[in-house]
């Protein structure tokens, strides 16, 4: 089996080239062809010697994930479902905004953390994605959008690891993918614009701060351990105080001077004035030790199996106001793409029927080709 070059960051590709008896700088050329130009055929890489192209053809390939479906939302959000084999699929969502284009990508098929309010968590864990599978989502989306929009400059300016899965439970595949996103010869994204979202895998947060410090979002969701234990089971292993101490350590390395706390608003569960009060106390206490943070309140996207409901809008606003009045910077996340089930926690890519997957991929290829040709 030949190597999929989407599996490498630049350093990994340099090692691969050396093993083929090539100079390391060839890797830079190759990396630029793949990630900046979106090439998937070695014959298109016109400035590489024919002998090298032949060698690459014998030992390597550039293979993105097959697309099962593509949905365009009324607000411009696009959701892609990618086939990752064995009846599993993962999703990526592109969210266009006036001043940026954000891609939300997945790190695992399913998730082992099992948060009560998350449909990915309810699905259980299937497997970790490889670096190639993580990076494929960006590679495909970026070059698809460029073709579609007929532009040569970058379309995706921000990447958030907020799709399916817990990125810090797939650390060894995650880090090379992040490095390729940041690399000037790759996507050249700023560290501030690449965000890892975690439910709080404490040891890996520390490692990330050293190996590849990017912006960090932490899914807090509750002000007390008793409540967080019931929502985010990982809290039993890494309770709130330990998590916040880790956030403080992370800040010393972080590209931004704050951590974003995500807080999913669940009707009657964590959205009462007393919860806001406890949260304020908690943050103020840790602020004395150096914690700097912002809150992002996420309206819960309900799904039947959760047995939970979305907090009414007025309650979300009142909660936000209470935090703001105490001096905590707080925003309420706009739900985007909920008409195509692309909103947070709605990403449940379980594809059971393999034959159907194949048919859908074939059909989708046709639709995409048509879309690209029409624009
Ligand atoms: N596993 C990581 C990243 C993926 S989840 C994490 O938990 O942080 C990305 C965000 O979506 C998290 O903040 C998560 O709490 C939130 N989320 C999950 N399910 C949701 C739902 N049904 N409604 C709203 N937000 C949800
Ligand atoms: Fe996993 Fe994040 Fe969903 Fe929790 S919220 S189950 S950590 S994907």
- Ligand 2 centroid–CA 302 distance in Å is 14
Residue ranges around ligand 1 (CB below 6 Å)? 117-118, 162, 166, 197-199, 219, 262, 264, 298, 300-301, 344-345
Q: Note whether 246 and 309 are same-domain residues.
A: yes
DSSP letters along 208-231, please? HHHH---EEEEE---SSHHHHHHH
- Ligand 2 centroid–CA 116 distance in Å is 9
Residue 28: predicted pLDDT: 97
Question: What CATH number did the domain enclosing 22 receive?
Answer: 1.10.150.530
Closest CA to 144 of 135, 129, 155: 155
Residues 68/89, Cβ–Cβ less than 8 Å: yes
Q: What is the CA radius of gyration of the chain?
A: 21
* CB count in 10 Å sphere of residue 186: 22
Instruction: Determine the structural domain holding residue 25 and report its residue range.
Output: 3-61
Q: How many percent of the chain have pLDDT more than 70?
A: 91
By DSSP bridging, strand 158-161 and strand 78-85 are unpaired
In tens, the pLDDT along 148-201 reads: 999 999 999 999 999 999 999 999 999 999 999 999 999 999 999 999 999 999
110 lines ligand 2 (CB under 6 A): no
Q: Note whether 15 and 134 are same-domain residues.
A: no
Residue 359: predicted pLDDT: 47
* Higher pLDDT, residue 357 or 273: 273
Average pLDDT over residues 77-98: 96
Q: Note whether 130 and 216 are same-domain residues.
A: yes
- Ligand 2 centroid–CA 124 distance in Å is 10
Residue 334: predicted pLDDT: 85
Q: Note whether 268 and 176 are same-domain residues.
A: yes
The catalytic residue among 104, 111, 264, 344 is 344
Q: Note whether 33 and 82 are same-domain residues.
A: no
- Ligand 2 centroid–CA 117 distance in Å is 8
336: which residues sit within 8 A by CB, 6+ positions away?
73, 75, 77, 95, 342, 343
Q: Note whether 38 and 177 are same-domain residues.
A: no
In tens, the pLDDT along 56-79 reads: 999 999 999 999 999 999 889 999
Residue at a domain's end among 35, 61, 87: 61
Helix (H) or strand (E) holding 240: helix 240-251
Residues 292/259, Cβ–Cβ less than 8 Å: yes
Q: Note whether 184 and 161 are same-domain residues.
A: yes
- Across the chain, mean pLDDT equals 92
Residue at a domain's end among 17, 45, 61: 61
pLDDT band at 233 (very low <50, low <70, confident <90, very high): very high
Residue at a domain's end among 44, 61, 78: 61
pLDDT(374) > 60: no
Which of 74-78, 96-100, 313-317, 351-355 bottoms out in mean pLDDT, i.e. has the lowest? 351-355
Q: Note whether 246 and 216 are same-domain residues.
A: yes
Question: What CATH number did the domain enclosing 355 receive?
Answer: 3.20.20.70
Q: Note whether 163 and 29 are same-domain residues.
A: no
What is the total count of domains within the chain? 2
Active site annotation includes 91: yes
pLDDT(342) > 90: no
* Residue whose CA lies nearest to ligand 1 atom number 5: 162
Active site annotation includes 344: yes
The catalytic residue among 17, 22, 91, 133 is 91
Residue 341: predicted pLDDT: 72
Q: Note whether 79 and 56 are same-domain residues.
A: no
Q: Note whether 89 and 56 are same-domain residues.
A: no
Q: Where are the beta strands (DSSP E) in the chain?
A: 3-4, 60-61, 67-72, 78-85, 88-96, 101-104, 108-110, 125-128, 158-161, 194-198, 215-219, 259-265, 293-299, 330-332
Q: Note whether 182 and 91 are same-domain residues.
A: yes
165 lines ligand 2 (CB under 6 A): yes
pLDDT(94) > 90: yes
* Residue whose CA lies nearest to ligand 1 atom number 24: 300
Q: Is the whole model's pTM more than 0.75, yes or no?
A: yes
């Amino acid at each position: 089996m030949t190597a999929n070059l989407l599996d490498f960051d630049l350093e990994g590709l340099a090692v691969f080239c050396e093993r083929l008896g090539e100079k390391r700088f060839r890797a830079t050329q190759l990396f630029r062809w793949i990630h900046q130009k979106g090439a998937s055929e070695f014959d298109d890489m016109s400035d590489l010697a024919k002998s090298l192209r032949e060698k690459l053809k014998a030992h390597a390939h550039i293979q993105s994930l097959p697309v099962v479906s593509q949905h365009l939302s009324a607000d411009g959000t696009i959701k892609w479902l990618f086939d990752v084999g064995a009846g599993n699929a993962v999703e990526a969502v592109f969210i266009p905004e006036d001043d940026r284009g954000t891609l939300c990508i997945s790190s695992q098929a399913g998730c082992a953390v099992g948060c009560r309010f998350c449909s990915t968590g309810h699905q259980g864990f299937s497997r970790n994605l490889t670096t190639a599978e993580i990076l494929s989502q960006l590679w495909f989306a970026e070059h698809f959008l460029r073709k579609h929009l007929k532009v040569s400059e970058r379309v995706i300016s921000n990447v958030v690891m907020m799709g399916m899965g817990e990125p810090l439970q797939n650390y060894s595949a995650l880090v090379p993918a992040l490095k390729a996103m940041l690399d000037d010869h790759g996507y050249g994204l700023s560290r501030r614009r690449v965000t890892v979202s975690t439910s709080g895998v404490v040891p890996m947060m520390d490692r990330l701060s050293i190996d590849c410090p990017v912006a960090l979002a932490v899914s807090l969701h509750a002000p007390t351990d008793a409540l967080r234990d019931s929502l985010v089971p990982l809290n039993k292993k890494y309770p709130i105080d330990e998590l916040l101490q880790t956030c403080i350590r992370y800040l010393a390395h972080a590209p931004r001077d704050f951590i974003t706390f995500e807080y999913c608003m669940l009707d009657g569960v964590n959205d009462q004035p007393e919860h806001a009060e406890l949260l304020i106390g908690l943050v103020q206490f840790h602020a004395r030790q150096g914690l700097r943070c912002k809150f992002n309140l996420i309206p819960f996207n309900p799904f039947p199996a959760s047995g939970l409901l979305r907090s009414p809008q007025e309650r979300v606003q009142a909660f936000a106001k209470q935090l703001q009045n105490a001096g905590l910077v707080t925003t309420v996340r706009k739900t985007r793409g909920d008409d195509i089930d692309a909103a947070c926690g709605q990403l449940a890519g379980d594809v059971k029927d393999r034959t159907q997957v194949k048919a859908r991929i074939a059909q989708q290829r046709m639709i995409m080709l048509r879309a690209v040709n029409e624009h």
